[in-house]
Amino acid sequence: MNLTRTLIIGNSGSGKSWLAERLAGHLQVPWVDLDSIHWLSDEHSIARPHAEALGMARIAASEECWVIEGAYGWIVSELLPRATALIWLSVDDETCVANIRQREAKRDENDELLVALLGWAGSYRSRDGSSGFAAHQRLFNGFSGSKIQLEDRGDIAAFHGQQ
């Protein structure tokens, strides 16, 4: 699999950042989290204007080598022509919610942003729009380069172990 320019897509809590960080470290290439491009603040409450976010993503994808990860299909679709590989983490919604709860264990369970994130992750398979399961499946099916779909933590760990 040619991982020179790898896109990783999937639900919140699926393990995209975990895999991207390790893959980028192994390949010694930059790692870009699309959350840092999509959101203006660390609290994920104010979205960057679409045109500005797309411009930033295109600049990141213009590099020779990279790992870029995120759930935003509207951004990913713009970067696919530059990608040499696509990895789709299609982990079930319940696991993603549990992963977020574990990752965010120090946050108050009534925190509005946490509640919203848990709802978002729990609706991946039924969610409309470019960041849902159906949209990611269309991106994956339409990609003609090297690609792999990983459905659980075991698949993800095994793929990471092969790199």
Instruction: Flag whether pLDDT at 44 surpasses 70.
Output: no
Nearest to 66 by CA among 50, 84, 51, 48: 84
Mean pLDDT value across residues 135-159: 95
Q: What mean pLDDT do residues 31-44 have?
A: 85
Instruction: Tell me the pLDDT band of 43, cut-offs 50, 70 and 90.
Output: low
pLDDT band with cut points at 50, 70 and 90 for residue 86: very high
Q: Whole-number mean pLDDT of the chain?
A: 93
Domains and CATH numbers, the chain: 5-162 (3.40.50.300)
